[in-house]
Amino acid sequence: MSVLLYGAGVVLLVFALIDIITRGEDQVRGLPKLAWILICIFLPVVGSIVWFAVGHDWSANDRNHGRYLEPNRHEDQYASLGHARAAHGDARVTGTEQELAALEREIEYWEAQARLRRAKEAAGEGEPTPGS
């Protein structure tokens, strides 16, 4: 069992060292490449895990390596909400406000209907419930 753990540590160290060496300086975070190599050599298992967790820059490549990347929205290219509104107009904001107002009116309607139903049931004029 100890041989298996030792072998896994060596494999992890080799993969970490190869990954550090093949990365460009712009794809390494936190410390210079030489420092990461020395950390991995002197602390093989812990250094390798820290390299993959902290030092490896996963977002530098075009691939996302399984991480969720938020989609780019056209609003993101503007410095402020005012600039986005100037470019696209207030149609989106106005449409959302109209939808919210319509939903509030619908909620008020159904609350009024529920109050009427409760009042009729309390007065004995309501329709019988399916269970009675």
The residue with greater pLDDT, 85 or 15, is 15
pLDDT score at 127: 63
Nearest by Cα to 88 from 99, 97, 98, 77: 77
**Is residue 109 over pLDDT 60?**
yes
- Identify the three-state secondary structure at position 28: strand
How far is it, in rounded angstroms, from Cα 31 to Cα 34?
Answer: 8
Band (72; pLDDT cuts 50, 70, 90) = low
> What single-letter DSSP state applies at residue 124?
T
Confidence of residue 79 (pLDDT cuts 50, 70, 90): low
Q: Which tops the pLDDT comparison, 93 or 12?
A: 12
Q: Give the mean model confidence (pLDDT) for residues 57-77.
A: 57
Q: Residue 113 pLDDT more than 90?
A: yes
Q: Using the predicted structure, report yes or no on whether residue 74 has a pLDDT greater than 60.
A: no
pTM over 0.75: no
| Residues in CB range of 44: below 8 A, 6 or more apart | 9, 10, 12, 13
Q: 20: buried, middle or exposed (CB in 10 Å: 19+, 13-18, 0-12)? A: buried
